[in-house]
Amino acid sequence: SLRHQSELQQLAEPGLSVEKHRQAAASGGVAHLNAAGDIRNGFRPVGGLRVGAAHHQLGPARVRAVRRAAAVVCGRWTSNEQAQLDSQQTMSIGVLPQLLIVAMAAVLLQSMSSEAQAEVTRHTVNLSSGSSIQGFTSAVRNRTVWSYLGIPYAKPPVGPLRFKPSVPLNEPVGNSSVPYDASKKPNSCYYWPVDQRETNPAMMVWQNNTEMSEDCLYLNVWSPTSDATANKTVMVWIYGGGFFSGSSSLEVYDGAVLAATGDVVVASMQYRTGVLGFMFLDDTEAPGNVGLYDQYRAIQWIHQNIRAFGGDESQITLFGESAGAASVSYHLLSPYTQGYFRRAIVSSGSAIAWWASESRGTGWSKALALADLVKCRPDDTKDGIKIVNCLRQVTPELLQQQTWGAMSSVLKERNQSYSRYHQQNLKRYQESGNSIAFAASQTSLYMDVPFKPVFGSDFLPKMPEEQLRDSAKNNDVKKADLLLGVVKDEGVFWVMNALGNIFALGIIPFWWGHPLTKEQNASYDYSVTNFPGLDLDQDPYNLVARYFIVNNTYLDSLVTEAISFEYQVPSKLFGRTSWTAKETLDALDDLTGDRSFKCPTVDFAEMYAQMLGTNSSNSVWMYSFEQRSQLMPLPEWTGVMHAYELSYVFGSPFNQRFKEAFYNFTTSDAQLSDDVMKFWTNFAKTGRLSIGQGQQTNYGTNQLSQ
């Protein structure tokens, strides 16, 4: 869970007060890993936190607790591991051997160039396929950027092509007489959008800003040159959204500033999500993973055509966040895509995250449940062809509406035994006023993603762990320079959204800024009637703190002990028996963020580094992004939330449209964004982290020799 070594030392040595090291807002980290790496030399990044090489001897009880906590939270504790650990007397503990952390802190703003992004003129690119694409030029940070928006890369997946892998275009688009107009952002694929009533600017960033359509397989290109022989490095963006939402048309993903700042060609694509992108029926008509096929087709198109836009097809870097990060890691594993890129950046997620894939059986069950909900199984048939033919007649809006219902029905069926146990304790939860436990009983038993990638297909033939483990002999994983990272408070957004409608009055008006729906009002009325002492009018921060209770009846003693130790749940061991509001929310944030994002990212980094081996010329780096802007229009306790770094990666502090539509940035935000863009683009060019040749960085970059 990215714990610093000094923190583990405090946990290990009795008599020391336990206090989590919370860095100042402007801090973070970068790491370099290799297969045999070990921390042998310490350093002092900004803020003075020392991460050193010393290993500490821990007694067997505390070793077991630390190991359990990490394994349980990250979902990989087994009985064999317990037996193996019980046989050990002592062991040497280090924090993430192979991991070197470097601070990423904002510094004073230096001279910044123009933010103007006014359209200047039109420009046409002719492709070898006969296509003629007309984009436009803009002035961005005192440079000219050539933009081409909404270029089709595959046939529209409509009618008989719904649920099927995308099909390449066989005919050119546009011609020398009438070029294709690439001046407007493309349709978004159907996805579960942010509520359009949203009024908080920080959340309005994620509202869809183009029409939703099944005719959505388009890509965008931003180039800092019109010279087809320029051979610029290419960066291909894959957006996140849990495989059920997202769009490359969002203003936060505009690639013009990144292209201008880093002198690279930036590209992005739309791909199908949700039921239209990931429904699996074990059939050629609906094989699943078609959203990943869409990404593959777009990457293939970019590889074949990017030279005409001034790019170098041999220097392509894929980068993505959340589900986009999982997608990038899938392309490292898939035999389809491996030959089309050289490097990868994986932010806040990976292929081994629990939410990033499911079994073929679960995928099949969800498809049948959806068919039931839209009346495409009147005779309970399991004939995939019949079901698909019926589902192709259903409107995409209705399919979207029933997506979550299909998931919930499968979860309830798959968790009947847990549900029975849960219901036995429901009365006691109600009587005790434990509102979080009660809220959990009224909602899904755990968070999940409706439709997602499945393994066992030709696109993803193996589970990631298996493929990485066996790659040394099979050589079936892409060997690339890899940069991975997380943000400080990965879990906050998910914690606040997973608490159920029982917190509707406290959360929605305070945080999201719009009135309650009819259903939410009903939930609130029920809560007031049944819990007269529950004050829903207070700040949800304090609401969570007041009613969160670690309850041993939910978990067996081993799991409870491990989690309590790792997350320092109040006990006599730590010399205190209660939590402050901040400590409560921090613990929930850590638990959720570690389980869903930090552990899968770190674990994938370690597995990939081990797969590369000690003699590899490739490098694996890690970072932690921890800056929060003073102008962020969300309560301070929300911290540095999931996806918050993306406005820095894409240069939003220099994007006037973004600032006018959403929120502004400080001068130190602008400086950090400038440096982050240089870090990312220089990694894409060289596989190393720097802000430019001969330039000094204030982030204390250091590197272990391989």
Hey, which residues are catalytic here? 322, 490, 642
Q: How far is CA 4 from CA 7, 38, 85, 623, in A?
A: 5, 15, 23, 14
Q: How far is CA 385 from CA 52, 161, 363, in A?
A: 60, 13, 16
* Nearest-angstrom CA–CA distance, 172 and 150: 15
* Nearest-angstrom CA–CA distance, 83 and 160: 54
DSSP 8-state symbol, 287:
B
Q: Which residue has the tokens 């929120």?
A: 663
Token readout for 390 is 């019926």
* Of the candidates 305, 308, 274, 342, the residue with the CA atom closest to the CA atom of residue 169: 305
* β-pairing verdict for 218-223 and 180-181: unpaired
| Secondary structure, 3-state, 45-87 | CCCCCCECCCCEEECHHHHHHHHHHHHHHCCCCCHHHHHHHHC
Element (DSSP H or E) covering residue 422? helix 416-424
- Residues 204, 198: contact at Cβ < 8 Å? yes
* Nearest-angstrom CA–CA distance, 612 and 34: 8
Inter-helix orientation angle 5-12/60-73, to 10°: 130
Burial class (CB in 10 A: 0-12, 13-18, 19+), 105: buried
Helices (H), 236-383: 256-262, 274-278, 290-305, 323-333, 360-373
Is residue 529 helix, strand or coil? helix
* Nearest-angstrom CA–CA distance, 679 and 102: 13
* Nearest-angstrom CA–CA distance, 612 and 466: 15
Inter-helix orientation angle 416-424/435-442, to 10°: 140
Burial class (CB in 10 A: 0-12, 13-18, 19+), 143: middle
- Residues 274, 450: contact at Cβ < 8 Å? yes
How far from each other are the two terminal CA atoms of the chain, in whole angstroms?
Answer: 24
Neighbours of 432 (CB within 10 A): 13
- Residues 663, 201: contact at Cβ < 8 Å? yes
* β-pairing verdict for 28-33 and 56-58: unpaired
CA 22, 705, 485, 351 dihedral sign is negative
Element (DSSP H or E) covering residue 137? strand 132-140
DSSP 8-state symbol, 598:
I
- Residues 151, 219: contact at Cβ < 8 Å? yes
Q: Which amino acid is at 146?
A: W
* Nearest-angstrom CA–CA distance, 67 and 514: 44
CA torsion, points 94, 98, 101, 102, in degrees to nearest 10? 150
* Nearest-angstrom CA–CA distance, 442 and 444: 7
DSSP 8-state symbol, 631:
T
* Nearest-angstrom CA–CA distance, 284 and 384: 9
* Nearest-angstrom CA–CA distance, 527 and 435: 9
